[in-house]
Structure 1
Amino acid sequence: MAYLLDNQQTQAGIRFRALAELFDPPTFRRLDALGVGAGWRCWEVGAGGRGVPDGLVARVGSSGFVLATDIDTSWLGSSSGPLQVLEHDVGTSPAPVVDLDLVHARLVLTHVPERDAALATMVSSLRPGGWLVVEEADPGLQPLLCPDEYGPEQELANRLRRGFRELMSGRAADLAYGRTLPRRLRDHGLVDVGSEGFFPITGDACTTLEVATVEQIRGRLVGGGIATDAEVDDHLANVAAGRLPDLATSPMITAWGRIAS
């Protein structure tokens, strides 16, 4: 089943940049805390764009290795230096590399129907002592685009967000997967498991992400009877006019653990 937010659409690049602005800082705070540095061998799963791969390359240097994979590598460019780019489906294919110091995936497993197999594949690629860091949004923990629903504009925004979740669920997405990550890492035998949540609310990147997402799924919202064209237009106009200044993302759950040495 095709991914709802197709990388081939023009809005994908806008979404990747907004996601990077929102989530790269907490992602790299965690990776830095784990000691990612010179000489590390890393695999970025479902990379999408270049934000995280480039950040990893800056940390591992010329003596390190970064593999960036995705089922669609359109936004990743070509391999160069320590960065290698590879088309790969983590849900159906074996690990393309092994003996890794770090495997990182963000906003991937929620959308992969074979998510259990994908997680096992990532674990299998780690060396003893290697770290797995998985980050997934959990809309069930906070399902609203506008947590402060004080007017008709916010009510419409939240109705469209509910429709977006319905479309995601219809494509085998697990919208409560984030909260299960710590348990799943322990079930795979990882040790020193930890987790934390990050919940952006109010900011230009949240607004940019919302506009790009709605534009990308507009046809499916209308075709599925979730909203009319006029309602989508009204929502986008509300965003553009600043009538929805406090747009939230779903909480991002980050979980990490390592293979016992």
Structure 2
Amino acid sequence: MAEDHGYLLDNRQREAGERFAAIAELFDSWTTAHLDRLGLTAGQHCWEVGAGGPGIPSALAERVGPAGRVLATDLDVSWLTGPAAPEGVEVRRHDVTQDPLPAEQFDLVHARLLLVHLPDRAAVLERLATAVRPGGLLVIEDADPALQPLACPDESGPAQLLANRVRRAFRARLAERGADLAFGRTLPRLLRGAGLTEVAAEAFFPVTSPACRALEAATVRQLREQLTGPDLTAADLDLHLANLAGAELDVTTAPLITCWGRRG
């Protein structure tokens, strides 16, 4: 089947806000702990690439203070404007695959769950590395669905088996849209190839939580038409959503690989 490189999870849909909220609950504390540990401090200039929702831009602005600068960019900035706009953050529509890079260089360039969806992801990573000032940091966080492909690693019954069928269909749709399901593990090599030093990486793997169920449910609702087919009926998806509405189904996410490197 020919690949369709359009983004599968359209941020203009209502469920995108639910997904952003669940992703923030799952991963924001992990992300900010790494940025704090790596030395994010007052007065620094930061670029949040493919920001999506306001959580991380707001956290960056709190840390760099009025003497610093935070630029948040995305193809769709609707979740970064209006009443929910993060305070102290410059928001700009930007296509990182095509548009010129910002004129300045940054102390920190950060992207989370962005590059895995791009067909030219390695080239984009190299471009982002050039936006880091000497001594600054590039921090890339991306999923690796192939590293742990199941929604329910504990396949203890029909609900868990159904969840894994739905996850397989989701992964197939991602692959059709050009996502690299094994991208996360390649980040250390790619950062070194972009000329960065002091490269290191860690993985976060939430086994189960209410936020995991919320993220799964929002994703299924958003992609209902794309997931329905000969092997997965509308009734199957209704049952899966009903199972997610309870507290008994332990669903997880793909491991999130956090990788960082310093520009010499």
Task: Give the alignment partner of residue 236 of structure 1, picking from 241, 251, 255.
Answer: 241
Between stretches 78-87 and 204-213, larger displacement belongs to 78-87
Distance 1:83 1:65 in 2: 7
The change in CA–CA distance for 1:202 and 1:80 in structure 2 (over 3 A counts) is: closer
- Show structure 1 runs of 5+ residues with no match: none
Distance 1:99 1:168 in 2: 33
Aligned length: 258
The corresponding residue for 2:220 is 214
Q: Is the 8 A contact 1:68 1:85 kept in 2?
A: yes
Q: Is the 8 A contact 2:80 2:86 kept in 1?
A: no
Deviation of the 1:240 alpha carbon: 1.3
Q: Is the 8 A contact 2:196 2:261 kept in 1?
A: yes
Once the two structures are superposed, residues 42-72 of structure 1 have per-residue CA deviations (whole angstroms, 9 ceiling, x without a partner) of 0000000000000000000000000000011
**Root mean square deviation, CA, Å:** 1.3
Deviation of the 1:80 alpha carbon: 7.3
Distance 2:110 2:86 in 1: 20
Once the two structures are superposed, residues 149-187 of structure 1 have per-residue CA deviations (whole angstroms, 9 ceiling, x without a partner) of 011110010000000000000001011010000010001
Identity among equivalent positions (%) equals 56
Once the two structures are superposed, residues 63-99 of structure 1 have per-residue CA deviations (whole angstroms, 9 ceiling, x without a partner) of 0000000011110116776411011111122212422
Residues 1-261 of structure 1: pairs in structure 2 closer than 5 A:
1-77=5-81, 82-222=88-228, 224-244=229-249, 246-260=250-264
Normalising by structure 2, we get a TM-score of 0.95
- Show structure 2 runs of 5+ residues with no match: none
Deviation of the 1:105 alpha carbon: 0.3
3-state SS of paired residue (1:129): strand
Between stretches 247-256 and 88-97, larger displacement belongs to 88-97
Q: Is the 8 A contact 1:43 1:68 kept in 2?
A: yes
The change in CA–CA distance for 1:24 and 1:80 in structure 2 (over 3 A counts) is: closer
